[in-house]
Chains A and B, each alone.
Chain A
Amino acid sequence: MNQLIQDVRYALRQLRKSPGFTTTAVLTLALGIGANAAIFTLVHAVLLRNLPVVDPKALVRIGNTDDCCVNGGTPDRNDYSIFAYELYLHLKDNTPEFEQLAAMQAGGAAFTARSSKLDAMPKSLGGEFVSGNYFQTLGLQSGAGRLMLPSDDVAGSPSVAVMSYRTWQREYGLDPTIVGSTFTLNTHPVTIIGVTPPAFYGDRMTDSPPDFYMPFALEPLMGQASLLHRRNLNWVYLLGRIKPGTQLAPLQAKVSGSLRQYLATIPLYQKADEQKNLADSHVVLTPGGVGIANMQQNYSSGLSLLMAISALVLLIACANIANLVLVRGMARRAETSIRMALGAQRRRLIRQMLTESVVLSCLGGVAGLAVAYAGTRTLLSLAFPDAPNLPIQASPSPVVLGFAFGLSLLTGLVFGIAPAWVTSHSEPAEALRGSNRSTKDSSSLLQRGLVVFQAALSLVLLVGAGLLSKSLSKLEHQDFGVETENRIVMHISPENAGFKPEQLQPLYEQIEQKFHALPGVERVSLSLYTPLEGNNWGEAVAIQGRPEAGANSPVGASWLRVSPEFFDIVGHRVLRGRGITAQDTATSPGVAVVNQAFVKKFFPNGEDALGKHFGTEGVKSSSDFEIVGVVNNVKYNNVREPVRAMYFRPLLQVAKSSPDGETRSLYMSAIMLQTKGEVEGLESQSRKLLASIDSNLPVMNYTRFETQIAGQFGQERLIARLTLIFGVLALVLASVGLYGVTAYTVARRTSEIGIRMALGAARSNVVGMVLKEAMFQATLGLAIGIPVALLCVRFVKTQLYGVEGRDLGVLVLATLALAVSALIAGLIPARRAASTDPMNALRTE
């Protein structure tokens, strides 16, 4: 122990003696370790962190996909991850292996909330319906008041809700009187019985955790179109705590059996051609410690890629420091030799040198934490813009601190081991003789090898960065088919405001009229949702005159309700027939406008779609809507996939074959405006206008259409930008490494260069000689890096859009970037070499 302390003291003294070296090394390490710690903060929070609940390892989720939010029909591969509420009750009753089995709403919902305080304004907050045993399942204690109990989740019991601690803190300043007070949620009075514990952020990692948790029993009271008893609609996730000793495989088989038993009772699975689907229906049990792992599924490949890339950058930084340490080791060879001559063992010397490296890397690690903090903040703002409630902290947690410390130790060993070995193996007698006549030493090969390694790695990163940047550019600049200039999107919830279906027509008319009256507003539309906002409604289409589609037939189409000016605002062009007009009212014949993809999918043989009829409830409904127009394709959903078949219906028409099943779709959630240029104060005017119509109708979000579309590429942009930053960082590090080695070589070869110049070498000869060597290393790096980059492309292939893995342009650009950087890095010491004064050089000999 004493020896270790002595080694550390000596290391610190040595580092203090070389402030230039120490500063360079610490800064390089800080960048490398900081970048890794920043990415790890995200990886830990999103992929690895368990829910802050009691014994998270005992939690098991029934389900393994990120299916959301309200699904009908059969799931992909008959794999159930999302369930009807009654199916939950059925499974709960039939699986005693679960100590507790809780259900939670798959897609959170926005609520209009108003506290009972005087002058309180309604706010749009997020809520989640959960089963009464939700908090018991998770083993949580309240942060204030009490948490929900099964007795609160019974029809007819007093209406209660639990507020999240963060909401209590953010919105109400931890006001203790909130607990026990009455809130109006969607016009319904609810008592806040308690607050969640401070660390709890819900049953899943999300950028918008719920503000309220409410019992399922309240669900029918909160809206006009309850899902609670819809046996054919799946909308809840299941998370349970298993009894100790329970084996998962038999339990999974049992739950699957129980699932099929329930499904057999619903009409969908009673059809003859659904029997195979019924027999195949199953669940997969997955560890539930991290909760519902939807974000994990969305971000895991991107974060893994970033982790790998940042590790490569750290490796390059390690190679740089190793080179610096080698140079220092060579400079201190006489000292090492004296130590050896005085009887120091090699092992002892290696340990001393490694201690120095580890001390250096730990200093880099400490500085890296500051870089990590700043980096994480930037990352979070890039990855999750507009997410004030994101339950991820930029300040390093103990786990991140441990990671940074472990990484620092490892880094110190990685960059310290080779130089320590080489330096400790110098011949003492030779070194003590003084200036060595030889122009070579054992370290130079290692140094050059490290530079080649850096060049190869940085090329790999540059190619990756180039591919991802090009892919992002193609994604962003593809033709979505939309017009975005002077377009505004805002969201509202008439359902939360308590409007009954029969009140909707006057409401929509009022909204359209009042917005039209605003100065600068040219067009106004209402719709169920808007393009590229992450929403989608889908139905199976039955074309009139065709037989009933079989199970698993590809007859799906997306759809939405729109008002007459919607097409013009979004940028849809009516190609044939007409658009939706003011004459398409609730009482007029059912009509639909379809897009080109719809025509291509359902009328592939050139049949005229105009005048044809279709429905969405099988053959019996196929006369519900007449196709009256065709519009061009516009992307509404996945920006990476072709445009789906879509149809557009008027705001309030219901299908005559099943008028009762369409209530939910009558509530428009989006208002779009087209303005004449920039209209000052439009947002506040819009909020006032809606409040003047109904005080419970707050604007849930207000954004420019182009901002909404740009939000679709958040993850791609984050990954492309970070990869580019890391690529440039790697290039800079590699160039600095090449510069360092070339400069060191030039310094060591001063006398040789002097001799050459004394023998007639011109300046250009010397520049050429030094550059040739530098470029040889860069070329070797390229020769290794290009095939490695081509091999590594497969790791990013899934992230690419419209770009081939072997993109020649990107490869050429990356190669050029590296070559030019190497040229510059080599030219500086080469020019210095050429200005060597032969007289001085010969004197140094």
Chain B
Amino acid sequence: MIEMKNLERSYKTGPTETWVLRRIHLTIREGEFVTVMGPSGAGKSSLLNVMALLDDQWKGEFYFNGDAVHTMNRKQRAQLARQRVGMVFQSYHLLDELTVAENIDLPLSYKDIPKSERQGLVADALDRFNIVGKKDLYPNQLSGGQQQIVGIARAVIHKPALLLADEPTGNLHSAQAKEIMEMFRNLNEEGTTIVQVTHSELNAEYGSRTIELRDGWLSKDTAAVAVQGGQV
């Protein structure tokens, strides 16, 4: 599903260039549940942003389902992201002035989907994540765990092929974290490819493969795929 070849990303601050991703070679197959780990500043979130097609300042080759992302313009990348990628954030990023149902509807509202169809999809999502009773509540009326469930529902409402999660349980206590991770496992079992960034070994165990980043280099990959170009 994802193939990265020699992908690099750096930030320029004045005369200094800071590298956050170095010569990344990575392949993620459909149906995998990949955990990205590493210390703070290792480049985990940067890698996730590249996969989410939010960042387009990198160099190298990036194929998404065989399509060459590196040849796409900004609009095409945005279109691809809209159709194929879902994101879950550590701090949920729900919009406070929208209700639970409206928050879940948000990604659909940016597509050409008739309102009646959207309402059906939202109702299904509410039902699937067991939050029908909370559909008219506002985010500040929910617990952290409930907010993250809404965040996941919102991320998968448009049935993305790839679900990216950046520290999805970082703000939750262990019971809530477990519930969320179970939810990810179910989604993965239903066929969604998942890439999560986490510091938690416990969360990593939910995944089928773990890769590790250090100073921007891909330093470890539990899959049988050999790490190329990296150094430990």
**Interface SS, B side:** loop
Assuming A437-B96, A440-B97, A845-B93, is B154 touching A759 (CB within 8 A)?
yes
* Partner pick for B54 among A438, A758, A762, CB 8 A cutoff: A758
Q: Which of A755, A760, A839, A842 has the most CB of B within 10 A?
A: A760
A760 touches B111 (CB 8 A): yes
Chain A residues in the interface with B (C-beta under 8 A): 437-440, 751-752, 755-762, 765, 838-839, 842, 845
Assuming A438-B96, A765-B110, is B91 touching A759 (CB within 8 A)?
no
A437 touches B106 (CB 8 A): no
Shortest Cβ gap from A429 to chain B (Å): 15
| Whole-angstrom CA separation of A440 from B138 in the bound complex | 13
* Partner pick for B106 among A439, A759, A762, CB 8 A cutoff: A759
What is the 8 Å Cβ interface bit string for chain B, positions 62-85, against chain A (1 contact, 0 not)?
000000000000010010011000
Contacts of B82 in A (CB 8 A): 760
| Whole-angstrom CA separation of A372 from B110 in the bound complex | 53
The 5 closest A-B pairs by CB, nearest first: A760-B82, A760-B110, A755-B93, A759-B107, A838-B54
Contacts of A759 in B (CB 8 A): 87, 106-107, 110, 154
Known A756-B95, A759-B87, A839-B49; further 11 A-B contacts with Cβ < 8 A: A439-B95, A439-B97, A440-B97, A756-B106, A756-B110, A758-B87, A760-B82, A760-B111, A838-B54, A839-B55, A842-B93
Contacts of A765 in B (CB 8 A): 110
What is the 8 Å Cβ interface bit string for chain B, positions 42-62, against chain A (1 contact, 0 not)?
000000010010110000000
Name the residue of chain B whose CB is nearest to the CB of A438.
B96
| Whole-angstrom CA separation of A437 from B138 in the bound complex | 13
Assuming A752-B95, A765-B110, A845-B93, is B140 touching A760 (CB within 8 A)?
no
Name the residue of chain B whose CB is nearest to the CB of A759.
B107
* Partner pick for B96 among A439, A762, A838, A842, CB 8 A cutoff: A439
Flag whether B184 is at the interface (Cβ < 8 A). no
Shortest Cβ gap from B62 to chain A (Å): 16
Flag whether B33 is at the interface (Cβ < 8 A). no
Flag whether B89 is at the interface (Cβ < 8 A). yes
Assuming A760-B107, A765-B110, is B154 touching A845 (CB within 8 A)?
no
A751 touches B93 (CB 8 A): yes
B140 touches A437 (CB 8 A): yes
Shortest Cβ gap from B189 to chain A (Å): 25
Assuming A438-B140, A765-B110, A838-B54, is B81 touching A760 (CB within 8 A)?
yes
| Whole-angstrom CA separation of A619 from B75 in the bound complex | 95
| Whole-angstrom CA separation of A755 from B140 in the bound complex | 17
Name the residue of chain A whose CB is nearest to the CB of B108.
A760
Contacts of B111 in A (CB 8 A): 760
Contacts of B158 in A (CB 8 A): 760
Name the residue of chain A whose CB is nearest to the CB of B78.
A762
Contacts of B55 in A (CB 8 A): 839
Q: How many residues on the B side are at the interface (Cβ–Cβ under 8 A)?
A: 22
Shortest Cβ gap from B97 to chain A (Å): 6
| Whole-angstrom CA separation of A823 from B207 in the bound complex | 50
Contacts of A440 in B (CB 8 A): 96-97
Contacts of A437 in B (CB 8 A): 96, 140
Shortest Cβ gap from B47 to chain A (Å): 12
Contacts of B97 in A (CB 8 A): 439-440
Shortest Cβ gap from B222 to chain A (Å): 28
Contacts of B54 in A (CB 8 A): 757-758, 838-839
Shortest Cβ gap from A524 to chain B (Å): 79
| Whole-angstrom CA separation of A438 from B93 in the bound complex | 11
Contacts of A756 in B (CB 8 A): 95, 106, 110
Contacts of B140 in A (CB 8 A): 437-438
Which residues of chain B (84-126) have a CB below 8 Å from chain A?
A: 87, 89, 91, 93, 95-97, 106-107, 110-111
Shortest Cβ gap from A824 to chain B (Å): 25
Shortest Cβ gap from B96 to chain A (Å): 5
| Whole-angstrom CA separation of A756 from B98 in the bound complex | 12
Shortest Cβ gap from B166 to chain A (Å): 9
Q: Which of B49, B54, B89, B97 has the most CB of A within 10 A?
A: B54
Contacts of B52 in A (CB 8 A): 758
Name the residue of chain B whose CB is nearest to the CB of A843.
B45
What is the 8 Å Cβ interface bit string for chain B, positions 117-139, against chain A (1 contact, 0 not)?
00000000000000000000000
Name the residue of chain A whose CB is nearest to the CB of B83.
A760
Shortest Cβ gap from B230 to chain A (Å): 24
| Whole-angstrom CA separation of A671 from B97 in the bound complex | 79
Contacts of B91 in A (CB 8 A): 845
| Whole-angstrom CA separation of A440 from B98 in the bound complex | 12
| Whole-angstrom CA separation of A765 from B110 in the bound complex | 8
| Whole-angstrom CA separation of A603 from B165 in the bound complex | 98
Shortest Cβ gap from B198 to chain A (Å): 17
Name the residue of chain A whose CB is nearest to the CB of B82.
A760
Contacts of A439 in B (CB 8 A): 95-97
| Whole-angstrom CA separation of A759 from B110 in the bound complex | 8
Contacts of A842 in B (CB 8 A): 89, 93
| Whole-angstrom CA separation of A845 from B92 in the bound complex | 10
Contacts of B93 in A (CB 8 A): 751, 755, 758, 842, 845
Shortest Cβ gap from A532 to chain B (Å): 64
What is the 8 Å Cβ interface bit string for chain B, positions 158-180, against chain A (1 contact, 0 not)?
10000000000000000000000
Name the residue of chain A whose CB is nearest to the CB of B158.
A760
20 A-B residue pairs with CB within 8 Å: A439-B95, A439-B96, A440-B97, A752-B95, A755-B95, A756-B110, A757-B54, A758-B87, A759-B87, A759-B106, A760-B81, A760-B82, A760-B111, A762-B78, A762-B110, A839-B49, A839-B55, A842-B89, A842-B93, A845-B93
Contacts of A760 in B (CB 8 A): 78, 81-82, 107, 110-111, 158
Contacts of B95 in A (CB 8 A): 439, 752, 755-756
| Whole-angstrom CA separation of A845 from B89 in the bound complex | 11
Shortest Cβ gap from A443 to chain B (Å): 16
| Whole-angstrom CA separation of A762 from B55 in the bound complex | 15
| Whole-angstrom CA separation of A842 from B140 in the bound complex | 19
Contacts of B110 in A (CB 8 A): 756, 759-762, 765
| Whole-angstrom CA separation of A440 from B97 in the bound complex | 8
Contacts of A845 in B (CB 8 A): 91, 93
Contacts of B49 in A (CB 8 A): 839
Shortest Cβ gap from A754 to chain B (Å): 8
Shortest Cβ gap from B91 to chain A (Å): 6
| Whole-angstrom CA separation of A839 from B95 in the bound complex | 17
| Whole-angstrom CA separation of A839 from B81 in the bound complex | 14
| Whole-angstrom CA separation of A438 from B139 in the bound complex | 10
| Whole-angstrom CA separation of A765 from B75 in the bound complex | 13
| Whole-angstrom CA separation of A631 from B140 in the bound complex | 86
Contacts of A755 in B (CB 8 A): 89, 93, 95
| Whole-angstrom CA separation of A751 from B93 in the bound complex | 8
Shortest Cβ gap from B7 to chain A (Å): 16
Name the residue of chain B whose CB is nearest to the CB of A845.
B91
| Whole-angstrom CA separation of A334 from B91 in the bound complex | 23
| Whole-angstrom CA separation of A343 from B55 in the bound complex | 47
Contacts of A758 in B (CB 8 A): 52, 54, 87, 93
Q: Which of A762, A765, A842 has the most CB of B within 10 A?
A: A842
Shortest Cβ gap from A438 to chain B (Å): 5
| Whole-angstrom CA separation of A752 from B87 in the bound complex | 15
| Whole-angstrom CA separation of A803 from B106 in the bound complex | 52
| Whole-angstrom CA separation of A606 from B147 in the bound complex | 93
| Whole-angstrom CA separation of A755 from B151 in the bound complex | 11
Shortest Cβ gap from B143 to chain A (Å): 14
Shortest Cβ gap from A327 to chain B (Å): 20
Shortest Cβ gap from A773 to chain B (Å): 12
Shortest Cβ gap from B64 to chain A (Å): 15
Shortest Cβ gap from B174 to chain A (Å): 23
Name the residue of chain B whose CB is nearest to the CB of A436.
B96
Shortest Cβ gap from B99 to chain A (Å): 14
Shortest Cβ gap from A442 to chain B (Å): 14
Which residues of chain B (12-56) have a CB below 8 Å from chain A?
A: 49, 52, 54-55
Contacts of B78 in A (CB 8 A): 760, 762
| Whole-angstrom CA separation of A845 from B170 in the bound complex | 14
